[in-house]
Structure 1
Amino acid sequence: MQKIYNFSEINIKILKEISHFDQVRKQDIFEEWFNFNYKIDKLDEKFLVELIEANRYNISDYIEYQLFGHFISPLLHKIYFYTKNFREWYQPELSGIVNGKILKGRPDFMIASGKTEPEKPFFFLQEFKKQATNSDPLRQLIAQMAVAINLNKGKKMRGAYNIGKWWNFVVLEKIAYGKYKKMAKI
């Protein structure tokens, strides 16, 4: 019988049981991503400044749904994710098999192809916590990304998780059967 894990219960111990995930300590994979010369027009800059100002004094006290509703959701809605090839999905069902173990659950936010249901995931945003808790958002995100890599029959997946004012970006790459390497930028 195959073991079944919900993403919400994944921690470092369970993740090690599922597969080998090696932490890569170099961060050059993020260079292009973070050093791209983005052009932000005046209206978008005004929107960002007002969003930050409106939440500056409360963001540390928000519960998860307030953080999402007041800060993250307006930011995500400013980005037009709907194209011919992909769109945004909030808490879609996702399941797959990684090394003989069934992983399933509902990622908080995902960009994926598909019109009426997600097909090929491209990017994940997991957790919107005001502070660190007993949950393990990094390992939950890695599990979701490993499922997506297998569903897509791909090699690489990107994602992020948020704790308070800190955004953490992750790239997971499959390097062999049952072996992955992860790179994180905090």
Structure 2
Amino acid sequence: MKSVRTFKEWTLAELDRTFGLTVADDSPVLKSWLAGQTEISPFEQEVLDSFRSLLVAHVYDWNETELAYNFIGPVMALVRFSSKKFNFFAERSLSGTVDEIEMNGRPDGIIASGFREPQQPYFCLHEYKKEKDPEGDPAGQVLAAMLVAQEINQHRLPVYGCYVKGEVWHFMTLQERSYSISEGYLATRHEDLKAIFSILKFLKTIVSGFMKNEGTDER
């Protein structure tokens, strides 16, 4: 009988032991993603500055849902991931089997192919956590979801991820059984928020490239 585990039950240590995962200290995939060049328009910068002011004022008081509604969601909307072929989806069910272990949950956000509902979540997954007393291991939770996404996509492409704890953003990549985690970006800092937004915009470019390579026009 297969064992069943939810994403929330996993920690990085347990994932490492169970699936033989290794941490890549110098991942070309992560490095390329973080270094991707994008242009931030004056309008986008003005909106980001407004978001940052709101975050500075409230980040230590917001709960997880308030952080998602008031900051993370608006930042994702500003990137405009939505298209006819791939979209940003929130709290959709995701499940799969990794090495005979059935894993499931509802990531706070995923970027997946599909218009009305997610189909292949092989591009990016996010777990949103509040600043104070987060429940569980946010890095482990998002990595567990990324492992399922990897299985759904038959290990064809790297899987991209991100977890947020209050004002701190960490970006992740998974390729085969090796993963990497970026240093934290502090969204209350002007330059760090610009970097976060640029990384997310470049992710959109990566996703669009995947779509074209598979013969699908992403518009």
TM-score by length of 1: 0.90
Letter of the 2:173 partner, please give it.
V
- In the alignment, which residue of structure 2 is the partner of 1:125? 126
Structure 1: stretches of 5+ with no match in the other structure: 175-179
Letter of the 2:179 partner, please give it.
K
Q: Counterparts of 1:20-169 in structure 2 under 5 Å?
A: 20-121=20-121, 122-131=123-132, 133-153=134-154, 154-169=156-171
Q: CA deviation at 1:118?
A: 1.3
Distance 1:105 1:37 in 2: 33
Distance 2:127 2:29 in 1: 20
Bigger helix share? 2
- In the alignment, which residue of structure 2 is the partner of 1:181? 178
TM-score by length of 2: 0.77
Distance 1:83 1:74 in 2: 17
Distance 2:74 2:19 in 1: 36
The worse-fitting range, judged by mean Cα deviation, of 143-152 and 8-17 is 8-17
Letter of the 2:137 partner, please give it.
D
CA RMSD in angstroms, aligned pairs only: 1.6
Tell me the matched-pair count: 181
What's the % identity of the aligned pairs? 26
Distance 2:44 2:11 in 1: 37
Q: Conserved in 1, the CA contact under 8 Å of 2:30 and 2:172? A: no
Structure 2: stretches of 5+ with no match in the other structure: 184-219
Q: CA deviation at 1:134?
A: 4.4
Q: CA deviation at 1:58?
A: 1.4
Give the secondary structure class of the aligned counterpart of 2:57.
coil
- In the alignment, which residue of structure 2 is the partner of 1:177? none
Q: CA deviation at 1:27?
A: 4.4
Q: Displaced runs of 4+ in structure 1, greater than 6 A? A: none
- Output one character per residue of 1:18-44: Cα deviation in whole Å (capped at 9) or x when no partner: 311101112443333222232111111
Letter of the 1:160 partner, please give it.
C
Bigger strand share? 1
Distance 1:152 1:27 in 2: 20
Q: CA deviation at 1:10?
A: 1.2
Letter of the 1:168 partner, please give it.
H
Q: CA deviation at 1:132?
A: 5.2
